[in-house]
Amino acid sequence: MKFLPLLVNSASCGGIQDEAGKSEAVWTGNRPVSGRSITGLTIALTAAGLLTCLWSAHTGETNRHASAAIGKGSGAARAAIPHRGTLPVKVSPEITHTAESGGKAVNITIDDGPDPVWTPKILQVLHDNGAHATFCMIGPHAAENSAVVKKIVADDDRLCDHTVSHNMRMNHRSDAYQKSQILDAERMIQQASGGVAPMYYRAPGGAFTPYSRQVAATHGMRPLGWNIDSKDFYRPGVNAIINTVKYELRNGPTILFHDGGGNRSQTYEALKQLLPWLKTQGYTFSFPVR
């Protein structure tokens, strides 16, 4: 396993931490959340500690080989993809990074939205390539862009809770704070979607704790890690994003991209090239194991 420390300055991703602040994976850096669509309440909640990080989530899940793909190409396959209903489904509190169907598959995961500009563009690229994704949403962003959330659901993509405030230090906050961040965001996302609840929970900055993972699991949301950080958040260039993903594919199936936190034109262009390439390499598109 190789980790590359990197100092950063904006919103999502990182290494998993326990309640004592000891890394379960790896995390580095600082980056504030974009303020464009976060409400005053959210800003107040995050002012105490906007620390973020980049992480490669290789822990908490030993089964890397359970995978497989559900393609978007056939109506039957699309119709078979479930969304969680109103009653919580029992899931494990362990962090998942594997694909839920077998074979050579990838899980596309997209953080920090929804964004009124970039999320619809990314949805179109996914549709054009018969791909699905899991969208990890910040609660107020979902509330402000409910039409986009409903479009994600209509496209048979999945929803993930990414908290209210995207506080990268929430693993150092009280249990009550962690619980409200998770469950308030869940409520916002479910209301925005028209009743479809998130199926996963991804801690901002990877700031998971045993308590927060249990809260999420009790409410039917599987804690979600990742194996590959595309590093698209930093806008390193389209080719750099593509090359990072290709190089890191050996690490596992779950790939992190962003649709929020700023201009995502590089992410959009990279996905336009990466998704067809993945298909030519024999990969199919799946969702993370729940």
Q: Residue 255: CB partners within 8 Å, gap ≥ 6? A: 106, 107, 108, 109, 226, 227, 228, 230, 245
Choice among 115, 141, 258, 259 that is catalytic = 258
Query: Is 258 assigned a catalytic role?
Result: yes
Handedness of CA 1, 249, 61, 28 (dihedral sign): positive
Q: Residue 252: CB partners within 8 Å, gap ≥ 6? A: 58, 64, 97, 98, 227, 228
- Give the separation between CA 104 and CA 116, rounded to whole angstroms: 32
- Give the separation between CA 165 and CA 108, rounded to whole angstroms: 23
- Tokens 């390539």, residue located: 129
Choice among 111, 184, 229, 259 that is catalytic = 111
Distances from the Cα of 85 to the Cα of 81, 113, 149, 177, angstroms: 13, 22, 16, 26
Query: Is 111 assigned a catalytic role?
Result: yes
Q: Which residues are catalytic?
A: 111, 258
